[in-house]
Structure 1
Amino acid sequence: MSAPQALDPDTARALLRQLLRIRRFEEQCAASYSAGAIRGFLHLYIGEEAVAAGLCAMLREEDAVFATYREHGHALARGVPMRGLMAEMYGKQEGCSGGRGGSMHLFDVGRRFFGGNAIVAGALPLAVGFALADLLQSRPHVTVCVFGEGAMAEGEFHEAANLAALWGLPVLFVCENNLYAMGTHLARSESETDLVAKAHSYRLAAASVDGMDVAAVREAAGAAVAHVRGGGGPFFLECRTYRFRAHSMFDPELYRDPGEVATWRTRDPIATFVARGDAAGWWNADDVTSLRTEADAEVADAVTHAEAGTWEPVATLTQDVYASPALGGRA
């Protein structure tokens, strides 16, 4: 990668605002889950916020985004309203997926955010299909697919990478490498731990970036997006990151050394970016306090909205399913 470009204060503040919004949303989701207001599975993005914030800052409205089941941050950074996201977490009709998707299936067609996918590597073939459609119709769009390093051990990754390279598709593969997938270290699950080398084996243009540095992610994502949109074909971007919380709220987290987690926490993407901005003069203490207060207020409003939301009537629960009991199928 070339030398990092200097950020202007407005861009830096926008990035910090996004980081704070995502962190506070995730913290509130953890609290609401513990209180029983959010149920089912919940996978928190705390520690990885720099990837979503830096990546989505470089996309256009017409670009498509696919993500994993740890996708709250991507949805927020993509512009999905926090009220709709929190209502979805609570299972209310006012949620972005009508209360039916929950944490792992956030969806917003208007923002070109197509999930939220509970299947590991499940979004990769979909993203390739979207990119193929854009190529065939000569649309200057970029399809972004975010996935974890665990997905690279799945057949879908290899099939998607092969076809994307073979057909020169306008797709950006973004791997959030947090080292542990669900609970197994990369070195114990894959013989080749150099993920860029793995991408190169399919003749994908590829790069790796510090996923704890939002400015670095933004710059690397900008270069990757420009490559894809300019007709250069698919691109693979590895973001080296780390989740501070367990895999999910059900995870007892017995596989990581607490000392390792503590070491990674010293690289908190928010704290380090705030310190960098202090030194660069992008903001002062009052500016940061104001942004934190703004994020707190937005989260509080989203919770109020979700709590006041409504449950879907039982009479409509079979609507939009593939088979109806009345036709002899299973709903």
Structure 2
Amino acid sequence: IPLGAGLAFAHKYRKEPNVAITMYGDGAANQGQKYEALNMAALWNIPIIFVCENNHYGMGTAEWRHAKNSSFYTRGDFVPGLKADGMDVLAVKQVVSYAKKYALEHGPIILELDTYRYHGHSMSDPGSTYRSRDEINAMRTERDPIERVKKLLLANGFDAAELKKMDKEVKKEVDDAVEKAKAAPIPPDHWLWKNVYAAPANTQLRKVDGGYNTPDYDPEYKN
């Protein structure tokens, strides 16, 4: 969240017509860093959209157990907020479009997107110890975003065969990517810094035995 605020500050400082979007879950909505970033964003009127992805469970803790006020879009003090159905593609498109325009003209805004995760928080979380399978199945049946878009497209004359073809192609693309990742060798140390710093940093890795190792950087390093 603070990194997003930093990016938004950079946009304003450089007079760039851009908006930063920082995303967090309902579990992180109570953390101090969020309020610190929110305060500075409001103080400096920086172009940022705070997006709370409310899937109603912070790991295994239901929102009503960790938040006195679970209407997260209202918890911005001097920062306005909106709530939308995060499982509705068109609703998300519309509300983000509005929020972008608002942030560019007036400063920070909060979006709470009401969503859901079907699986556990991690591989060690079965996802069914703190909620019922009936609840999960109901969400899949009634609110699945892909199925909702599919029904909308079909209702507006989109070809069913074309949709089926697209679905098959996407699944193959994902499967191919997974197989490629499984077959790939262990990456070199310097990959830890790819897409992190604009240029290679003079950084050392601390080893388990207490020693240090300076990684070999790729001479053709690209961010």
Q: Distance in 1 between matches of 2:190 and 2:65?
A: 48
- Does 1:135 pair with 2:18? no
Displacement of 1:263 after TM fit?
1.6
Cα offset for 1:322? 3.6
Shift of 1:310: 2.6
Counterpart contact for 1:323–1:329, Cα < 8 Å: no
Indicate which of 225, 228, 237 corresponds to 2:111. Answer: 237
Of the three residues 147, 155, 165, the one matched with 1:279 is 155
CA distance in 2, matches of 1:315, 1:224: 38
- In structure 1, runs of 5+ residues without a counterpart are 1-123
**Match for 2:123 among 245, 249, 254?**
249
Aligned-residue Cα RMSD (Å) equals: 2.6
Q: How does 1:200-279 map to 2 (within 5 A)?
A: 201=77, 203-229=78-104, 231-253=105-127, 254-266=129-141, 267-279=143-155
Number of equivalenced pairs:
203
1:155 is matched with 32
Which has the higher relative contact order, 1 or 2, with Cα contacts under 8 A spaced 6 or more apart?
Answer: 1
SS across alignment from 2:139: helix
2:204 alignment counterpart: 323
Kindly provide the CA deviation profile for residues 88-126 of structure 1, in whole angstroms up to 9, marking residues without a partner as x: xxxxxxxxxxxxxxxxxxxxxxxxxxxxxxxxxxxx111
Consecutive unaligned residues of structure 2, counting only runs of 5 or more, are 194-199, 214-223
Output the CA distance in 2 between the equivalents of 1:137 and 1:169: 12
Larger radius of gyration between Structure 1 and Structure 2: 2
Compute the displacement of 1:237 (Å).
Answer: 0.6
Question: Measured at CA, do residues 321 and 149 of structure 1 come closer, stay the same or move farther in structure 2, by a change above 3 Å?
Answer: farther
Q: Deviations over 1:26-84 (max 9, x none)?
A: xxxxxxxxxxxxxxxxxxxxxxxxxxxxxxxxxxxxxxxxxxxxxxxxxxxxxxxxxxx
How far did residue 308 of structure 1 move? 4.1
Whether the aligned pair in 2 keeps the contact of 1:214 and 1:269 (CA below 8 Å) is yes
Counterpart contact for 2:74–2:80, Cα < 8 Å? no
Question: 1:84-99 alignment to 2 at 5 Å?
Answer: none
**Distance in structure 2 (CA, Å) of the matches to 1:313 and 1:263:** 44
1:146 maps to 2:15: no
Other-structure match for 2:163: 288
Give, in angstroms, the shift of residue 247 of structure 1.
Answer: 1.1
Question: Residue 325 of structure 1: CA displacement?
Answer: 6.1
The letter of the residue matching 2:89 is: V
Provide the rounded CA distance (Å) in 1 between the counterparts of 2:160 and 2:192: 50
Taking the aligned partners of 1:150 and 1:325, their CA distance within structure 2 comes to 31
TM-score, normalising length from structure 2? 0.82
User: Corresponding residue for 1:63?
Assistant: none
| Structure with a larger share of its residues in strand | 2
Equivalent residue of 1:161, what SS?
helix
Partners of 2:98 and 2:192 lie apart in 1 by: 45
Residues 201-238 of structure 1: per-residue CA shift (max 9 Å, x gap):
2x112100001111111111111112113x21011111
Q: 1:170 to 1:295 in 2, by over 3 A?
A: same
State whether residues 135 and 170 of structure 1, in contact with CA within 8 Å, keep that contact through their aligned partners in structure 2.
yes
Show CA shifts across 1:245-275 (max 9, x none). 1111110331112221122112111112211
- Is 1:198 the counterpart of 2:75? The answer is yes
Partner of 1:174: 51
